[in-house]
Amino acid sequence: MTDDQELIARLREGATWDDDVAAADRIEALIKERDEAVHLARLRKTFIEEARDERDALEAKLAKAVEALDMLVRDCEADYPPSHVAIKYFAIGALAEIKGESYE
């Protein structure tokens, strides 16, 4: 039996008036609300941590995409641009890396 449960039991045992029983009921309800609030706070914390992890992963993928596009633009603007086939395979490789796939 938890401390909270012991307190409620003692209040109920010593209750001499209806007001005492009502007070015990109210305290019990408040304890349940507190426990639920604590549980919800833990769930919220977990959700926020998971959302941050997902955001970080998406930001990393976006950074890879930006880097790949920058390289493609630089290659296309060079005095001696690579062939379209080379650009295509570079883009395919970058896209596979962003998607987490292997490309060989």
| pLDDT tens readout for residues 18-75 | 888 888 899 999 999 999 999 999 999 999 999 999 999 999 988 988 888 888 777 7
- Structural domain includes residue 91: yes
* Domain that includes residue 60, residue range: 3-99
- Structural domain includes residue 89: yes
- Structural domain includes residue 104: no
- Structural domain includes residue 88: yes
Cβ atoms 68, 76 nearer than 8 A:
no
Number of structural domains in the chain: 1
- Structural domain includes residue 45: yes
- Which pTM does this prediction carry? 0.57
- Structural domain includes residue 24: yes
Cβ atoms 75, 90 nearer than 8 A:
yes
As a residue count, the chain comes to 104
- Structural domain includes residue 54: yes
